[in-house]
Amino acid sequence: MGEGIQRSPNVVWHQSQVTRELREQQAGHRAAVLWFTGLSGAGKSTLAHAVEQRLHERGVRTYVIDGDNVRHGLCRDLGFGDADRVENIRRVAEVAGLFVQAGVLTLTAFISPFRRDRALARELLGADFIEIFCDTPLDVCEGRDVKGLYAKARAGEIPSFTGISSPYEAPDDAEIVVPTGSEPLADSVQRVMDWLIAKDLIQGDER
């Protein structure tokens, strides 16, 4: 991808009169990307959707972009080799950036195992990128084996499976670290909500 593609010199960015700031003012909350990362079965999708539900109940405009879902559409031409994983993350970061411009508090749930790929997303999204590490140890994820993928990976049926035959590079600069392997889901949800309130992305309870 990318190489050999010529951007037309005749494509000019068109500025909208309805700016992100106006959208945020109208909605009464900030837009950002909550980027959930962690092993398969760590709890990214479960936590992202549970947080979204809480936010939605408060009237916050939200959307979850889930790894498994984009593989059916936006990224269906991509595989799981190194180059395709990078392109997968790049596309998702770009799309998440568009959601942010639309004033949406966006949640993404991708394993995103490589530090340099998350760094690329951080670079593309700047201060809007909030990394949330679902810190569930491999043995707990494997014990859960929600989709039966670890059993298949151990049997050698899935090449390059993160945690088994491909590395997961844990973040050391995540904005939020959630012990999703050891605490109840409700506590993890509260942890994220508290952070969003503390950073003024959403309003607190006392309104």
Which position among 8, 16, 40, 112 bears the catalytic label?
A: 112
Residue 146 site contact among ligand ADP, Mg ion, none (CB < 5 to 8 Å, cut-off depends on kind): ligand ADP
**Per-residue exposure over 58-80, b if at least 16 CB sit within 10 Å of its own CB, e if not:** eebbbebbbbeebeeeebeebee
Q: Which residue's CB is nearer to Mg ion, number 45 or number 106?
A: 45
Mutual angle of helices 44-57 and 185-198, in 10-degree steps: 60
Which listed residue (29, 35, 45, 135) binds ligand ADP by CB under 6 A?
45
Q: Is 37 in the site for Mg ion (CB under 5 A)?
A: no
Which listed residue (98, 185, 194, 200) binds ligand ADP by CB under 6 A?
185
Whole-angstrom distance, CA of residue 125 vs CA of residue 99: 11
Q: How far is the CB of 20 from ligand ADP (least distance, A)?
A: 29
Q: Is 90 in the site for ligand ADP (CB under 6 A)?
A: no
Whole-angstrom distance, CA of residue 47 vs CA of residue 114: 21
Which listed residue (43, 103, 163, 171) binds ligand ADP by CB under 6 A?
43
Q: Is 106 in the site for ligand ADP (CB under 6 A)?
A: no
Contact segment (CB under 6 A) with ligand ADP among 39-47, 56-64, 151-159, 166-174 equals 39-47
- Categorise residue 163: left if φ over 0, alpha if ψ from -120 to 50, beta otherwise: left
Q: Is 180 in the site for ligand ADP (CB under 6 A)?
A: yes
**Do 31 and 127 touch, CB atoms closer than 8 A?**
no
Which listed residue (31, 32, 34, 47) binds ligand ADP by CB under 6 A?
47
Contact segment (CB under 6 A) with ligand ADP among 27-35, 74-82, 121-129, 182-190 equals 182-190
Active site residues: 112
Summarize as ranges the residues that interact with ligand ADP (CB under 6 A): 38, 40-47, 109, 134, 144, 146, 180, 183, 185, 188
